[in-house]
Amino acid sequence: MAPIKKPVHGGDVHAASRELGRDVTELVDFSASINPLGPSPKVWRAITGARHLVPHYPDPECWELRQALASRWRIEPARILMGNGSIELIYALPRALKINHLVLVQPTFSEYAASMARTGGRVTAMYADRDEQYALPIDRLCRLLERPAKGSRTPDGILLCNPNSPTGQACGADDVMKLARAAQRRGVWLIIDETFADYCPERSILPLASAWSRVVVLRSLTKFYGLPGLRVGYAVTAPAVIQQLRRELPPWSVNAMGQAAALAALRDTAHARKSLRFVEKERTRMAKELAGLLGCTLFPAHANFLFMELPRGWHGKKLTEQLRREGLLIRDCSSVPGANRRSIRIAVRSRQDNDRLLKALSGMLSESRS
C-alpha cells in the first residue's frame, strides 16, 4: 500500500520560523485565513476567568456552548456536535456515515480527500470551470445524482465547501437547497463545509440543515472568530446522525479553555459586526490593488481571502518561496487539483500588513519584467 501523502495547506508558521531562523512574531502569515482583527477582547477575559477549570476535565457534552449555538440558530441542542476544530469532524464523517465513494468539487481543501484515503474510500473529482471563475457546479452535481452515467453507481456522498477554499467562490442558499433535495431523494449524504460562511451569512443553509436526514453542515470558530490555536468546530445535522458521529469521537474533544473562549466569542456580536465590515472594505481595496498588477487575474471572493493567478511565466511556488524569504507567507495553490501552476491564495489581514505584501508583490513582479 502506498503511503498517504500529508496534505499541504497554510498556517504552519512554526515550520517557517525554524526554517528562516526568525521568531513567529516576525512573520506575517497570509497563508491562513484568520480574522485580521483577531479574537474578541472578551475572549482573553473569558480564558483568564476560566483558570479554575484547568484542574478539571472539560465538559464532554460542551453543554453551555451547544446551548448558545442552539439559541443562535434556533435549533435543538441535540442537533449540534462539537469537535476539536471542524477537521476532527471531517475525519470522523466517512467512518460514521459509511461513505465509501465521495464526490468533491475541485479545487478545494485537501483534507477532504485525505479523510477518505484514511478509510480506504474512493474520491471522484468534479472540476469547477476556470472559465466560469470557478463557480460551484450545482447543476452538474444535481445531474450526477438524478441521471448517473450509464454503468456508474451513484456516490455515497458529496462534499461541498461553501464558500470554497481556496477559490473563494460561493453559491446561494437556494442552489444548495436544490442540491440537498436531490441528495435526499437519492439517499446520498450531502456534507456542506461552511467554515467561511460567517463572511456571507445569506448564503448559509445551517438553520435548515436538520430538515434533511442526509445533510450535515460543518462550521468552525477558527476563521471568523480568530481561534485557530484553540480548535473548536461543530456539526449541525439530524439527532440520529449526531449520535453516529459522536461514536467516532474521543470523550473530550474540546478543552475547557476552548469552550470558554468560543462562548465569549459567540456572545460578542459587536466584534463580529466590526470584523465583517472591516474584511468587506479591506478585501475590496486589496482586490482592486492586486487586479491592477499587470498580468494578474483575480477571482470573485466571498470570504476573507483572495484567489488569484500570477502573470504568465510565473509559478505559484516560486513566488511563495521569494515572499517567504521576506517573512511573508502566502498559500501556494499551484499543486491543488483543478487550479493551475500560477495560482495563489492571499488572506486579508490588517491594512498595514496588506500594504507590505502589495509592495513586495508589486516589486517582485516588476523586476521580472525588467
Q: Is residue 6 part of a domain?
A: no
* R_g of the chain, CA atoms, integer Å: 21
Q: Is residue 3 part of a domain?
A: no
Instruction: Name the H helices within 133-255.
Output: 138-146, 173-186, 239-246
Task: Count structural domains, the chain.
Answer: 2
Q: Is residue 240 part of a domain?
A: yes
What digits encode the pLDDT tens for the residues 160-216? 999 999 999 999 999 999 999 999 999 999 999 999 999 999 999 998 887 789 999
Query: Residue 15: pLDDT above 80?
Result: yes
User: What percent of the chain has a predicted confidence (pLDDT) above 90?
Assistant: 88
Q: Are 131 and 167 contained in the same domain?
A: yes
Q: Is residue 5 part of a domain?
A: no
Q: Is residue 2 part of a domain?
A: no
Domain of 208, CATH number, reads 3.40.640.10
Gap between the Cα atoms of 214 and 335, Å rounded: 32
Q: Are 131 and 31 contained in the same domain?
A: no
What digits encode the pLDDT tens for the residues 39-98? 999 999 999 999 999 999 999 999 999 999 999 999 999 999 999 999 999 999 999 999
Q: Are 231 and 296 contained in the same domain?
A: no
Q: Is residue 8 part of a domain?
A: no
Q: Are 282 and 245 contained in the same domain?
A: no
Owning domain of residue 357 = 13-38+270-369
Residue listed under C-alpha cell 475590496: 284
Gap between the Cα atoms of 268 and 358, Å rounded: 32
pTM: 0.94
Q: Are 262 and 301 contained in the same domain?
A: no
The bridge status of strand 305-309 relative to strand 233-236 is: unpaired
Which strand (E) or helix (H) includes residue 215?
strand 215-220
Gap between the Cα atoms of 44 and 265, Å rounded: 10
Q: Are 274 and 240 contained in the same domain?
A: no
Q: Which DSSP symbol is given to 200?
A: S
Q: Are 76 and 191 contained in the same domain?
A: yes
Q: Are 246 and 304 contained in the same domain?
A: no
Q: Quick one: pLDDT at residue 10?
A: 61
Q: Average per-residue pLDDT in the chain?
A: 93
Q: Which residues contact 326 (CB under 8 A, 6 or more apart)?
A: 360
